[in-house]
Structure 1
Amino acid sequence: MADDHTHVQDFFTPRAAGWDSRFPDDGAAYAAAVDELRLRPGGAVLDAGCGTGRALPALRTAVGPGGTVLGADLTPAMLDAALRAGRGASGALLLTDVGRLPLRTGVLDAVFAAGLVSHLPHPAQGLAELARVVRPGGRLALFHPIGRAALAARHGRDLSDDDLRAEPRLGPLLADAGWRMDSYTDEDSRFLVLAVRTG
């Protein structure tokens, strides 16, 4: 497990300081995806793999001042960047592995996860842990501000059906982890999967 963490941290640590400046126009896309979670004032939500916390202000707006917003990330440099950007004011930041969250079972109404799935060393276990902390009927948003084809092109790769985010792979993976996929959107302008906690 430590080796898995080292790989993720090695990827994100050198990128943390300049992360937001590389993607300066994503704010509206994050806010639109958060809207799709249909959070209510006073609700409790986790941004899993929050990085620099770009979703935290929109999540705070959605649940209001009486709600609970948590941001969890494994990489200290990303959380430091979130604090420098002032996003700690929107939610509590946790340095933790989203595969082993320090939260009670069923305590959350929703989880927002931007770009997380492809960085989970054990995706089935990670998605099951996210399901554990969400109440039955709660929601999950798996988001990326560009779609799979655009992301593959950005990285000089071909689009592959082996991608965890391909609908035929992701649906069963979510179902096995305790989620029911409600919608699947994969367009150039965004990737957004919405799922509901079963049980």
Structure 2
Amino acid sequence: MSDDHTKVQEFFTARAADWDARFPDDGPAYRAAVAELALRPGASVLDAGCGTGRALPALRDAVGPSGVVLGADLTPAMLEAATHAGRHRDGQLVRADVTRLPLRTQALDAVFGAGLVAHLPDPAKNLRELRRVVRPGGLLALFHPIGRAALAARQGRQITPEDLRAEANLGPLLEGSGWRMTSYVDEDARFLALAVRQD
């Protein structure tokens, strides 16, 4: 495992047990973000870096009982917390590295990633891997339940021009990885960038 992966695992392992308790009011923001994907019943969707699985109930509701919902995360403690919360009933939990997914090419209709971009070791390459597993015309949602400025304030830091999630940076990053950004929202109550897979 790379140093990047080890750091990510250590960070999330230390926080897994009380993650949901620290952010108890995020549910509606997750539901609203999933709704923007406009997934069809029967669709296949991956929650990449699913953590405690907070998106899984909304994703299951969107695709219905005939759909496929997968939650992939690198950190066993996060997947255990997801199971403890009962979210394994809404999607299949898989311990997997989102930079090398154990999925067929073009197997999915969409990928949802909450708080994902900041933890990718090689964002351009890793976004290409997410593109690989999505069918042509499939969707990517990069989400955070609060916006960049609010998150920076919570962490006691300033937003910098190098922030990958800045619209001026994220659009070209997605474009270079085989995605086209179709919408971008960065407000106090949420961050959501939607993109479509280029053929």
For Structure 1 versus Structure 2, the TM-score category normalised by the shorter chain is over 0.9
Q: d(CA) in 1 for partners of 2:127 and 2:49?
A: 12
CA deviation after TM superposition for structure 1 residue 141, in Å: 0.4
Q: d(CA) in 1 for partners of 2:87 and 2:24?
A: 15
| Structure 2 SS opposite 1:34 | helix
CA deviation after TM superposition for structure 1 residue 151, in Å: 0.3
Q: d(CA) in 1 for partners of 2:183 and 2:161?
A: 18
| Structure 2 SS opposite 1:13 | helix
Supply the AA of the counterpart residue of 1:118: A
Supply the AA of the counterpart residue of 2:154: R
Supply the AA of the counterpart residue of 2:141: A
Match of 2:133 in 1: 133
TM-score normalised to the size of structure 1? 0.99
Match of 1:159 in 2: 159
1:136-174 CA-to-partner distances (Å, cap 9, x unmatched) read: 101110000000000000001011111000111111110
Report the count of equivalent residues.
199
| Structure 1 SS opposite 2:50 | coil
Match of 2:19 in 1: 19
Q: d(CA) in 1 for partners of 2:164 and 2:180?
A: 16
Structure 2 unaligned segments of length 5 or more: list them: none
| Structure 2 SS opposite 1:157 | coil
1:113-157 CA-to-partner distances (Å, cap 9, x unmatched) read: 000000111111111100000001011100000000000000010
Match of 1:5 in 2: 5
Match of 1:186 in 2: 186
Q: d(CA) in 2 for partners of 1:81 and 1:126?
A: 25
1:77-96 CA-to-partner distances (Å, cap 9, x unmatched) read: 00000000000000001101
2:138 is aligned with 1:146:
no
CA deviation after TM superposition for structure 1 residue 107, in Å: 0.7
Matched residues, percent identical? 73
Q: d(CA) in 2 for partners of 1:3 and 1:94?
A: 21
Alignment of 1:6-155 (within 5 A): 6-155=6-155
Structure 1 runs, 4 residues or longer, greater than 6 Å off: none
Q: d(CA) in 2 for partners of 1:73 and 1:128?
A: 18
CA deviation after TM superposition for structure 1 residue 2, in Å: 1.9
| Structure 1 SS opposite 2:8 | helix
CA deviation after TM superposition for structure 1 residue 32, in Å: 0.4
Supply the AA of the counterpart residue of 1:131: R
Match of 1:195 in 2: 195
